[in-house]
Structure 1
Amino acid sequence: MSNVSETLKAVQDMADEAPVTDVTETFVQWQALLGELKEKIAARFELHHDPSTRVWETFGAEAGGPRGSLAGYTGPEVDWMVHSWVGDPEHGFVNLHLTVWLGPHVRVPHLGLALLCWPGGWFYLDSVPRSSLVADGDYYDRYYAPAEQEWLAVREEYEDLSWFTSRAGFIRGSLSPTAYCYSMPRDERHLALVRRLMHEQVDRWLGWVEEAGPVPAAERGALAAADLAVRRNIVERDPANVMGVRYFGEQVTDRLVRALWGGDRSLPRPS
């Protein structure tokens, strides 16, 4: 039987109710982890830094206050990749992302990774589906069924994990059946779990890309449109955007949100 509990509080409430805590040590470890994963991805794909996001390479306070970095990439096989972080690690909050949205030449799920301190730990990883998992049983069997046993084993073994239930129904509906979305202690055992799961996820995902057959040309336009709609909706409806407004104001946060989904991109989308 699973011992996993549940976290129902909003991100801002978790941050507000906790004592001020310097989470720089965990932040540095998680920056390094996402850097390693980005290197794996960059070794497989041709990627170009989109000029529209260069303004966000560093923003906010120089040190010791709210600040961040955001870089968007695209390429022949990658519609939009984002490597970003935002927060104030010296005062207990930081949010890091590495997400890859593939082009419409394949139907491989997109890759979603996120890490957060508030000041407790939190992690998310998922294979964002590009087909209805209920209607397309073969798609489920190919990309999700093989992960079921590992997903259940983690829930059973790690009793200090707390399933994060978003207060936004839309966000709850965006998770696949094998998504990881947990609050956790920031101790060595749980940090090692996150490292293992994320490396395994990226390795598995890269294997899917290599094995994928092509999407018929006539179907690619509709797939690209659906991908963009999903990405934009998830980014714009993310409840954690409230922390950006708190740190940087609504105008800057709106621009950051647009950068996250590629609303101001300069380079073309892959065909």
Structure 2
Amino acid sequence: MSQPQATQSDVKTIHEFLADNPNVDVSKQWERCWDIHGKINDRILKYFGGAQLHPVSEGAEYYTSPDEQMEGSFFGYTGGGIDWYVRSWIGNRKASIIDMNINVTLSQHIRVPNLMIIFGTVPNLLFYADYVPRVDLKVNEDYVKKYYEGEANNDYLEFRANTDYVWSASHGPAIRAMQSPVCSSYITELTDEHIDQCEA
């Protein structure tokens, strides 16, 4: 594996990355990442069979900003054990930036962690994935053991050991406060190989 780029910083902002490379065409990578998101979406909707597309999604299958500098899609679902599920993207595929999100918030009576998966380009590849806890982990050891030990922990450690990826720290304390013990938040060179690794 190659070493991380020397110019990368775990606290560099998205605006700083974009300023370095503001006009990279990432259309090909958008297509690949959106396809991965689509497969995840299919699995979620199959598992939560009662989830229905919310009316707020009407007309948002594809949209652009008034100046046509940004574009995106928005799909919101609810029902079948899901309080609110969003699959969306926003960005400019000709100008380096994509922000692609899957966020699943389960019904209030469910203790299973929520799901968050983000692909982004700046134009480096950003990858964020987490099982967001529904409880205070500091006082719920059984919850930690149930959802964050075993395979989830092993996958986290294996990914963390990959020196191609640099840990990307959120500048927002609220985001960091939500992160679980197995949260993945990384930045790396935008390559097909790295997208493959994130998909796996």
TM over 0.5: same fold? yes
Match of 2:191 in 1: 187
**Larger relative helix fraction:** 1
The one of 60, 73, 80 aligned to 1:76: 80
Q: Does the alignment pair 1:25 with 2:28?
A: yes
Confirm or deny: 8 A CA contact 2:69 2:92 kept in the other structure. yes
TM value normalised by structure 1 = 0.67
Q: SS at the partner of 1:151?
A: helix
Identity between Structure 1 and Structure 2 (%): 27
Q: Which residue identity lines up with residue 42 of structure 2 in the other structure?
A: E
Q: Does the alignment pair 1:90 with 2:94?
A: yes
Q: Which residue identity lines up with residue 18 of structure 2 in the other structure?
A: A
Q: Which residue identity lines up with residue 187 of structure 1 in the other structure?
A: T
Where structure 1 has 5 or more consecutive residues not aligned to the other structure, the ranges are: 197-271
Confirm or deny: 8 A CA contact 2:53 2:75 kept in the other structure. yes
- CA drift of 1:6 comes to 4.5
Deviations 1:210-269 (A, max 9, x none): xxxxxxxxxxxxxxxxxxxxxxxxxxxxxxxxxxxxxxxxxxxxxxxxxxxxxxxxxxxx
- CA drift of 1:44 comes to 1.3
Superposed, which structure 2 residues align to 1:2-151 within 5 Å? 6-45=9-48, 46-60=50-64, 65-146=69-150, 147-151=152-156
Where structure 2 has 5 or more consecutive residues not aligned to the other structure, the ranges are: none
Deviations 1:170-218 (A, max 9, x none): 222221111000001122321111111xxxxxxxxxxxxxxxxxxxxxx
Q: Which structure is richer in relative contact order (CA contacts within 8 A, separation 6 or more)?
A: 1
**Larger relative strand fraction:** 2
Q: Which residue identity lines up with residue 40 of structure 1 in the other structure?
A: R
Q: What stretches of structure 1 move > 4 A for 4+ residues in a row?
A: 3-6
TM value normalised by structure 2 = 0.89
Q: Does the alignment pair 1:152 with 2:157?
A: yes
Tell me how far apart the structure 2 counterparts of residues 155 and 76 of structure 1 sit (CA, whole Å): 34
